[in-house]
Amino acid sequence: MKKHNFNAGPCILPRIALENTAKAVLDFNGIGMSILEISHRSKEFQAVMDETVALFKELLNIPEGYQVLFLGGGASLQFCMVPFNLLNKKAAYLETGVWAKKAIKEAKFFGEVVVVGTSSDKNFTYIPKGWEIPADADYFHITTNNTIYGTEIREDFNSPVPLIADMSSDIFSRQVDVSKYAMIYGGAQKNAGPAGVTFVIVREDVLGKVDRNIPSMLDYRIHIKEGSMFNTPPCISIFVMKETLKWVKEMGGVKKMEEMDRAKAKLLYDAIDNSKMFTGTANKDARSIMNICFVMKDQYKDKEDAFMEFAKLHGMVGIKGHRSVGGFRASTYNALPVESVQALIDCMKDFELGNA
Would you call 143 helix, strand, or coil by DSSP? strand
Q: How many CA atoms lie within 13 A of 355 on its CB side?
A: 21
User: CA-to-CA distance for 68 and 70, rounded, in angstroms?
Assistant: 7
Of 86, 234, 111, 50, give the one whose Cα is nearest residue 165: 86
CA–CA separation, 5 and 318 (whole Å): 6
The verdict on whether omega for the bond into residue 10 sits within 30 degrees of 0, i.e. cis, is yes
Cα four-point dihedral sign 215, 218, 220, 223? positive
Cα angle vertex 97, ends 255, 12, to 5°?
Answer: 45
SS3 170: coil
Task: Give which of 255, 314, 321 is closest to 294, Cα–Cα.
Answer: 321
How far apart CA 227 and CA 236 sit, in angstroms, is: 17
Contacts of 295 (CB under 8 A, 6+ apart): 278, 279, 281, 301, 304, 321, 326, 327, 328
Q: Which residues are catalytic?
A: 99, 166, 190
Residue 211 φ/ψ, nearest 5 degrees = -80, -25
Alpha helix positions (H), the chain: 15-26, 43-60, 74-86, 98-107, 220-225, 235-251, 253-273, 304-313, 338-355
Give Cα 54 distance to the centre of its chain. 20
Cβ contact 161:140 at 8 Å: yes
Name residue 262's amino acid.
R
Dihedral sign of CA atoms 303, 306, 312, 314 in order: negative
Nearest CA among 2, 1, 7 for reference residue 320:
7
